[in-house]
Amino acid sequence: MDYKDSMYIGIDPTCGHKSFTYAALDRELNLLTLEDGELDDLVVNCSSQKSVIAAINAPSGVNHGLVRERMKSEMRAPHQIRGAEMRLCEYELRQRGIVFSGTPSSVRLSPAWMQMGFKLYHELENTGFVNYADKKHPYQFLETNPHASFCVMIGSVPHSKTSLEGRLQRQLTLYEHGMRIRDPMDFFEEVTRFKIIKGNWPIELLYQPEELDALSAAYTAWAVANKAENVLAVGVRSEGRIYLPVSELKEAY
């Protein structure tokens, strides 16, 4: 399939209320959209495009006990096995120092933001989207994880995404990867002694943490279609695979 007319969308479930933050890119990495939206509006927007690859920052399903089975085969201690509430993709990244929330074994036990993600996958499937697998299909979705993506793009675990340093770090990383977004270095041009004393930082030049997560996911969606040789998937398809915009992983981050 020719992806020249595709839209690459990154979606982040927003904690605290029933909406999503999403970003849309074109083939030249121009930022077309960056906004919040309710589930129904988001699904309509995605399905109304000519061609879409959507990368979602949420598990595509619950864990199937694969990590527990692996730990049993490795003769791990009982308390380690009991705490293995995660999918294989999450376990493999955690072993490299990339730590984020594990996915429970049932929807009921999953936090609200994960349940929002499950519902989004379901609604997209109902409108004709398919799980990405190099298929020649105009509507595809895949799972990604922005924290893991930033770790592998930077080469180490970044600062907290809510901190000034972390936001600068993430925005600069995306900018350096060719995304046509605001240059975070402009932030420093606007900083003066007077503004520092008054506490008037030019924060408006930086994206919010959830926006950076959505932008990262959109970049991964773009990379899957346009730079497939520099993308890898962690985990197994039966339980969920996390796509990351690098060709290989380091042993530790």
Q: How high is the pLDDT of residue 76?
A: 74
DSSP 7: E
Q: How high is the pLDDT of residue 1?
A: 43
Contact by Cβ (8 Å): 88, 105: no
Cα–Cα distance between 145 and 87 in angstroms, integer? 13
Angular region, 159: left φ>0, alpha ψ -120 to 50, beta rest? beta
Per-residue b or e along 36-60, where b marks 16 or more CB atoms closer than 10 Å to that residue's CB: bbeeeebbebbeeeebbbbbbbbbb
What's the token pair of residue 189?
């041009």
* Residue 51: pLDDT over 50: yes
Q: Averaged over 208-232, what is the pLDDT? A: 96
Which amino acid is present at 73? S
Contact by Cβ (8 Å): 247, 229: yes
Average pLDDT, the chain: 92
Q: Averaged over 57-83, what is the pLDDT? A: 83
Per-residue b or e along 139-166, where b marks 16 or more CB atoms closer than 10 Å to that residue's CB: bbbbbbbbbbbbbbbeeeebeebeeeeb
Q: How high is the pLDDT of residue 17?
A: 62
Angular region, 212: left φ>0, alpha ψ -120 to 50, beta rest? alpha
pLDDT digits (tens, 9 = 90+) for 82-141: 668 899 999 999 999 999 999 999 999 999 999 999 999 999 999 999 999 766 789 999
Angle of the 209-226 helix axis to the 164-176 helix axis, nearest 10: 20
Q: Which residue reads 């346009």 in tokens?
A: 226
Q: Averaged over 11-17, what is the pLDDT? A: 77
Q: How high is the pLDDT of residue 49?
A: 92
Q: Averaged over 24-50, what is the pLDDT? A: 94
Q: How high is the pLDDT of residue 134?
A: 64
Share of the chain above pLDDT 90, in %: 80
Q: Averaged over 218-234, what is the pLDDT? A: 96
Residue 172 neighbours by CB under 8 Å, 6+ apart: 184, 185
pLDDT digits (tens, 9 = 90+) for 135-167: 678 999 999 999 999 999 999 999 999 999 999
DSSP 160: P
Confidence of residue 197 (pLDDT cuts 50, 70, 90): confident
Per-residue b or e along 100-121, where b marks 16 or more CB atoms closer than 10 Å to that residue's CB: eebbbbeeeebeebbebbbbbb
Q: How high is the pLDDT of residue 16?
A: 56
pTM, two decimal places: 0.93
What's the token pair of residue 76?
């791990």
